């Protein structure tokens, strides 16, 4: 009997040790999860701040883009995507850009592409005009003077 009692006591001690070990492991896992959550929050805040700074820098660079910068961008986009009016949006002519986009998509669909072709020709002509003007002339005409068409 005493052997059975010793075995039972040993098993109870082992069970107690296992429970204590499991509790320590659970506590450590909870602690590590808390640390990971805190680090994830810090990373998310840093990423949000970096994205905000990038957006601010991009907006500032776009706002500073005058003369040659917008001239080349608007000219190339007018030649490539002129039918969609992308160059109008670049220069800040939202109403004109929407007109070109609607004519291309809606009227072009009803006329089997004739409306889109017409807007493509307009874009091509405007792109060539933009790129052949001097930087100063382009700036004065299209950015300062706000001349929307040709």
pLDDT in tens, 47-77: 677 666 766 665 665 555 544 568 899 999 9
Q: Which band of pLDDT confidence, cut at 50, 70 and 90, is reported for residue 79?
A: very high
**Residue 112 DSSP class:** T
For residues 104 and 115, the answer to whether their CB atoms sit within 8 Å is yes
Domain around 89: 66-144
Distance CA 4, CA 56 (A): 77
Instruction: Mark whether 15 and 84 lie in a shared domain.
Output: no
**Does residue 134 share a domain with residue 73?**
yes
Whether residues 46 and 77 fall in one domain: no
Q: Is residue 150 in a domain?
A: no
Q: Of the candidates 34, 64, 94, which is a domain's last residue?
A: 64
Q: How far apart are the first and last CA of the chain?
A: 108
According to DSSP, residue 67 is labeled: T
Q: Is residue 125 part of a domain?
A: yes
- Per residue in 85-142, pLDDT tens? 899 998 889 999 898 988 888 888 888 878 788 888 999 999 999 999 988 888 888 8
In a domain, 94, yes or no: yes
Number of domains in the chain: 2
**CA–CA dist 12, 73 (Å, integer):** 80
């Amino acid at each position: 009997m005493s052997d059975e009692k010793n075995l039972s006591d040993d098993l109870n001690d082992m069970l107690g040790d296992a429970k204590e070990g499991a509790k320590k492991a659970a506590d450590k896992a909870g602690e590590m999860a808390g640390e990971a959550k805190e680090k994830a929050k810090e990373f998310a805040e840093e990423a949000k701040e970096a994205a905000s700074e990038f957006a601010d820098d991009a907006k500032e660079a776009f706002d500073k883009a005058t003369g040659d910068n917008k001239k080349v961008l608007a000219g190339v986009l007018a030649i490539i995507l002129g039918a969609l009016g992308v160059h109008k949006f670049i220069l800040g002519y939202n109403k004109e850009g929407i007109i070109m986009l609607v004519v291309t998509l809606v009227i072009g669909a009803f006329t089997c592409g004739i409306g889109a072709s017409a807007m493509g020709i307009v874009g091509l002509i405007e792109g060539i005009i933009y790129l052949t003007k001097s930087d100063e002339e382009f700036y004065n005409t299209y950015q300062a003077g706000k001349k929307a068409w040709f």
